[in-house]
Amino acid sequence: MVDVEDKLFWITGSGWPSDAYGYVFLGRAVRDIGKALFPDEWTGHEMAMPEPYPHDIFFVDGEERTEPKPLFWIEPPSLTTLERVLLENHKDVRIERTAPPSRRPILTEEQYMVALLTIEKINPLRVSARLRAATVKQVIEHALRDGKIKFALLPARGGDFITQTQAFWWNIPSSTHRWKRCQMSPADPYSTAFSGAGFMHVFVDGADLKSITESVKKPEAKADTPILKSSNETYAAALALLPSRPKGGSRAFEAYCAEHGISTPMARQAYKSLGETRGRKRS
């Protein structure tokens, strides 16, 4: 699940500092690049999009293509997941519970089917949104790492920007923590914390951002000319599918990716990342 503070930060811009002196806050840079890359699809909710709901646990042999398991087979933790699906997407639903102290949800057969259909409807939307977010982050991270976008840091109290930053601070295995609140500590740029004492807001150079934004805008395609996805996009798509992957190892994941139009080499490359390194908040 996505933290409420994450939703407020990315969807409403809560806590975002103002742009100044030609610098643009990293959160707004994400919006600009997102709209340039995905002019028709970008919603602004991508960076706070939850992972897809679990789905394979509700089907015989762990495959969504098979029959759903009977409701009486579903274990209590999975019932709680189904309850969450219903409450998050069907506000008027009323779910009975067992007596205290267990208070487990009791679903009807109809509620069970509604939950499974909801998962089937919601998951592709979440996968697509997370793919867009992953693509935007990748574009910005590479531009920062390669020095194509200069960046500066602004103390939480405001004031002058710190411009003595280094592009290689972005040459790290994972920058997931930095996208949590778009902050970094100049004293410890490789910290995997996302906020805390000494952390500052990340801003990018406005002129550089405009240049990158223009370069990634997709040209209007002719009606008879299909647009092929780049390897970066398909790899990011495969990564976005990992949280909802079916059981069965790499072969099952490759088949799952194939259903989403992703090639086997890209699926294998993404699956290998599971064995690699995967933010805590500094007090």
Give residue 56's pLDDT: 81
End-of-domain residue from the set 103, 122, 141:
122
CB atoms within 10 A of CB 220: 7
- Per-residue pLDDT band at 223 (split at 50, 70, 90): very low
User: 238 lies in which domain range?
Assistant: 227-272
Alpha carbon distance 253, 268 (integer Å): 8
Distance of CA 121 to the CA centre of its chain: 18
pTM of the model: 0.74
In a domain, 82, yes or no: yes
Alpha carbon distance 88, 249 (integer Å): 30
CB atoms within 10 A of CB 12: 11
pLDDT reading at 229 higher than 60: no
pLDDT reading at 228 higher than 50: no
Q: Which residue has the higher pLDDT, 244 or 122?
A: 122
Give residue 251's pLDDT: 80
Question: Nearest CA to 53 among 130, 119, 124, 129?
Answer: 119
Give residue 133's pLDDT: 96
End-of-domain residue from the set 101, 122, 143:
122
Cβ pair 127, 241 in contact under 8 A: yes
Q: Helices in 4-107 by DSSP H: which ranges?
A: 4-7, 26-37, 76-89
Lowest mean pLDDT among 8-12, 14-18, 178-182, 271-275: 271-275
**Domain total of the chain:** 2
Q: Which residue has the higher pLDDT, 268 or 226?
A: 268
Average pLDDT, the chain: 87
pLDDT reading at 276 higher than 50: no
pLDDT for 125-159, tens place per residue?
999 999 999 999 999 999 999 999 999 999 999 99
End-of-domain residue from the set 122, 141, 165:
122
Give residue 123's pLDDT: 93
Mean pLDDT on 36-52: 95
Provide the 8-state DSSP code for 242: G
- Per-residue pLDDT band at 224 (split at 50, 70, 90): very low
Alpha carbon distance 276, 21 (integer Å): 40
In a domain, 110, yes or no: yes
pLDDT reading at 8 higher than 70: yes
In a domain, 89, yes or no: yes
In a domain, 114, yes or no: yes
In a domain, 67, yes or no: yes
Angular region, 90: left φ>0, alpha ψ -120 to 50, beta rest: beta
pLDDT for 160-197, tens place per residue?
999 999 999 999 999 999 999 999 999 999 999 999 99
Give residue 226's pLDDT: 46
